[in-house]
Amino acid sequence: MRMQCTAPDSAPVVSSSLRKGNRDLLLRILVPFLVLATLVLAWHIGVTVSGVPPYILPSPLAVATALFTDWHTLAPALWVTTKITLLSLLLALIGGVGFAIFLVQSRWVEIAFYPIAVILQVTPIVAISPLILIYAPSTQVALLICAFLVAFFPILSNMVQGLKSVDHNLLNLFDLYGASRWQTLLYLKLPASLPYFMTGLRIGGGLALIAAVVAEFAAGSAGAGSGLAFRLLEAQYRMNIPRLFAALILLSLLGVMIFALTSFISWLSLHRWHESSLKREN
């Protein structure tokens, strides 16, 4: 004996809107691109017409040239900054998730340790960096620690929130079926906090880059092993404004890449089930 069911009504909507979806996607890429191109063009015309000297405001062409000719100095710096940002983000992920799991184990653990995390977060990173520079074995490690401290907190606080927001009935269900603590964590609490984790990841990714740059400013690091922040300052001292702009553009691109990467990871893990990744159809 079977019960009858009606098919979910989403299938036909999807197939009929496929063409429309493709056009929509094309426009979504094309429109921002055109706006950006227009702005760059306006910049170029503005510089050419007004005759501003390139050491005040270079034309986009000069910036592109600097990007090309100075690539051999900018590329290693970009690589250093990328490495520090991604590595600190990775450490923040491990640390944030690990510490969050530790915190939610008991109310007393949270009461005891959460304030420490808050203190680390609210103290401006620029203010601690001199101290970190003294203790850290190398500037690179110091930068890594600074970026880690900044990226760590959003991941931690989101993860704690996520781990505590698990549906109580589902917790009861796991109890009922005699799930161990480990099983409840693995099969219920971690997947349930995935949306929160992804929010933390996106915020942390952006902050890690900011912190990597700010910490390098604060550290005043110099020389061959330095990141883009040093190249920015160096270009400023030398009044090499086109190169400064080129370094700035590389930083923006790195930020965009990190944002795209974290958004993509978020979409990949949530799009099948979470409301935030679903298109609303009315």
Partner 1 sequence: MILGDARAPKRSTEGRKRPLVAMDKVSKRFSSGTLALSDMSLVVESGEFVSLLGPSGCGKSTALRIIAGLGDASSGKIDWPSSRINAKGLPDGDISFVFQEPTLMPWQTVFGNVHLPLKLRGISKAAARPQIIDALATVGLADFADAYPRELSGGMKMRVSIARALVTKPKLLLMDEPFAALDEITRQKLNDDVLRLWKETGITVIFVTHSVFESAYLSNRIVVMKARPGRVHADFPLRTSLERDAHYRTSEDYRQACEKVSTMLLEAIGSGEH
Q: Is 187 in the site for partner 1 (CB under 8 A)?
A: yes
Least distance from partner 1 to the Cβ atom of residue 161, Å: 17
Distance CA(233)–CA(237), nearest Å, equals: 6
* Count of residues engaged in binding partner 1, rule: CB under 8 A: 30
Distance CA(63)–CA(102), nearest Å, equals: 49
| 277 close to 270: Cβ distance less than 8 angstroms | yes
Least distance from partner 1 to the Cβ atom of residue 266, Å: 13
Least distance from partner 1 to the Cβ atom of residue 126, Å: 40
Can you read off the two tokens belonging to residue 120? 């680390």
Q: Is 153 in the site for partner 1 (CB under 8 A)?
A: no
Residues 214-273 that bind partner 1 (CB under 8 A): 272-273
DSSP run (H or E) holding 91? helix 71-103
Q: Is 6 in the site for partner 1 (CB under 8 A)?
A: yes
Residue 24 or 167: the one with the smaller Cβ distance to partner 1 is 167
Tell me which of 18, 19, 127, 169 binds partner 1, using CB under 8 A. 169
Least distance from partner 1 to the Cβ atom of residue 44, Å: 49
Least distance from partner 1 to the Cβ atom of residue 196, Å: 13
The count of other CB atoms within 10 Å of the CB of residue 32 is 10
Residue 113 or 273: the one with the smaller Cβ distance to partner 1 is 273
Q: Is 194 in the site for partner 1 (CB under 8 A)?
A: yes
Distance CA(268)–CA(123), nearest Å, equals: 34
In the block, residue with structure tokens 């970190």: 132
Query: Segment near partner 1 (CB under 8 A), from 121-129, 168-176, 236-244, 249-257?
Result: 168-176
Can you read off the two tokens belonging to residue 214? 């700010």
Residues near 133 by beta carbon (within 8 Å), at least 6 away in sequence: 139, 142, 218, 219
Say if residue 61 is exposed, middle or buried (CB neighbours under 10 Å; 0-12, 13-18, 19+).
middle
Residue 56 or 281: the one with the smaller Cβ distance to partner 1 is 281
Residue 10 or 50: the one with the smaller Cβ distance to partner 1 is 10
Distance CA(51)–CA(175), nearest Å, equals: 74
Q: Is 4 in the site for partner 1 (CB under 8 A)?
A: yes
Q: Is 165 in the site for partner 1 (CB under 8 A)?
A: no
Say if residue 51 is exposed, middle or buried (CB neighbours under 10 Å; 0-12, 13-18, 19+).
exposed
The count of other CB atoms within 10 Å of the CB of residue 174 is 19
| 211 close to 153: Cβ distance less than 8 angstroms | no
Query: Segment near partner 1 (CB under 8 A), from 50-58, 99-107, 190-198, 216-224?
Result: 190-198
Tell me which of 22, 123, 138, 183 binds partner 1, using CB under 8 A. 183
The CA-based dihedral angle spanning residues 220, 221, 226, 229, taken in that order and rounded to the nearest 10 degrees: 0
Residue 179 or 248: the one with the smaller Cβ distance to partner 1 is 179
Residue 15 or 169: the one with the smaller Cβ distance to partner 1 is 169
Residues near partner 1 (CB under 8 A) are 1-6, 8, 10, 167, 169-170, 172-179, 183, 187-188, 191-192, 194, 272-275, 278
